Amino acid sequence: MKVSISYLFLIFMLSSCVVSKKKFDDMLAQKVKTDADLQEKTEKLTSLENDFAKLEENYKKSVHDTARLSADLSANKKKLVELDANYQQLNNSYKNLLANSGKMNRDLNQQQQQLLTIQQNLEKTRRENDSLSTSLAEREKKVTELEQVLANKDKAVQDLRSKITNALLNFKENDLTVNVKNGKVYVSLAEQLLFGSGSIDVDNKGVGALQQLAKALKDQKDIQVMIEGHTDNVPISRKSQYMQDNWDLSVMRATSIARILISGGVAPKQIIAAGKGEFSPLFTNDNNVNKQKNRRTEIIITPNLDQLFKILENN
């Protein structure tokens, strides 16, 4: 991953009070590009989540259609038995009438017509029954494929959660939590584990936790890692040219964490660094305890859904 432009701005601000206009313009252009890349990746993630929701909806519809086809097949089998019985009854009547005398010709013709109609209906029902059986088998196969892929995805997510939890066992529960929600693994790290107040530099304890997390993730090639920085609603105490508010602070913290994960072996193309500032709190910022809980970093690990999308496209 390229070094964050905001981070370079901060280094230049601290190391020198004089920056040439050309360097400033270059840095600003790179920052705009980085922001555009972030927006693109965020939109892509949103699109993936929407596609996944559509996939689950189609899965539910397939299950419903399968149940309906099973009911239709059962009804047609029952109708087929009834038509067979009627056919046999009419056929026997026809033979009896034919054996009696010519005075029964009118009734015989009527019975013949009824018999022909029943034969036609019987053949039609048999064709419908064959078609329903084929359609039901195809849908059952598709549902089985979807169920297997979903089960594999859920197992992979649970296995990944266990691996991450085991990697972070030596850290306190109030410093970090690992949960599974909506098919994703959420690793929430409290501010006190990672950063000092208003700082974007990860302290040694936080570096240790992130290195262990990177070790658990680096061999997982079919995942996307979203790093979200969050703050409370207290404005930053020291503004600068490159950090104006909590939003800037949350983004810079996310990129600091991204660098540590990359140095630990996680591929840069798998990482998205983002900041939500104070705009996605867990609790109302009405007391110090809640504010402390809102100052956090969330690392959201999403599995690759390409196999699910391929089944959906072929449906």
Q: What is the identity of the amino acid at 311? A: I
pLDDT at 136 over 80: no
Report d(CA 209, CA 257) in Å as an integer: 11
Quick one: what percent of the chain has pLDDT higher than 70? 88
Cβ atoms of 178 and 165 closer than 8 Å:
yes
pLDDT at 16 over 70: no
What CATH architecture applies to the domain 61-153? Answer: Orthogonal Bundle (1.10)
Q: What is the identity of the amino acid at 154? A: D
**Least confident stretch, 18-27, 108-117, 301-310:** 301-310
**Least confident stretch, 1-15, 115-129, 246-260:** 1-15
pLDDT of residue 314: 56
Quickly state the pLDDT bin for 140 (edges 50, 70, 90): confident
Report d(CA 234, CA 238) in Å as an integer: 12
The candidate with the shortest Cα–Cα distance to 255, out of 229, 230, 280, 287, is 229
What count of other Cβ atoms lies within 10 Å of the Cβ of residue 234? 14
pLDDT at 291 over 50: yes
pLDDT at 3 over 70: no
> In CATH terms, is domain 159-314 a member of 3.30.1330.60?
yes
pLDDT tens profile 191-230 = 888 998 889 999 999 999 999 999 999 998 889 999 999 9
pLDDT at 308 over 70: no
* Arithmetic mean of pLDDT over the chain: 83
Top pLDDT among 131 and 187 is at: 187
Top pLDDT among 149 and 255 is at: 255
Average pLDDT over residues 113-135: 81
Average pLDDT over residues 40-45: 85
Cβ atoms of 303 and 222 closer than 8 Å:
yes
Q: What is the identity of the amino acid at 126? A: R
For the record, the structure tokens of 277 come out as 């500032």
pLDDT of residue 2: 44
Report d(CA 265, CA 217) in Å as an integer: 8
pLDDT of residue 54: 82
pLDDT of residue 261: 96
pLDDT of residue 86: 87
Cβ atoms of 225 and 270 closer than 8 Å:
yes
For the record, the structure tokens of 92 come out as 């026997």
pLDDT tens profile 47-79 = 877 877 887 788 888 888 888 888 888 898 888
User: Taking the domains of the chain in order of start, what are their residue ranges?
Assistant: 61-153, 159-314
**Least confident stretch, 33-47, 200-214, 243-257, 289-303:** 33-47
For 176, phi then psi, to 5°, come to -155, 155
Burial class (CB in 10 A: 0-12, 13-18, 19+), 170: exposed
Alpha carbon 38 to its chain's center: 19
pLDDT at 174 over 90: no
- Dihedral angle sign, alpha carbons of residues 7, 10, 15, 19: positive
Q: Which uninterrupted H or E stretch holds 275? A: strand 271-275
Give the pTM. 0.54
Report d(CA 167, CA 155) in Å as an integer: 18
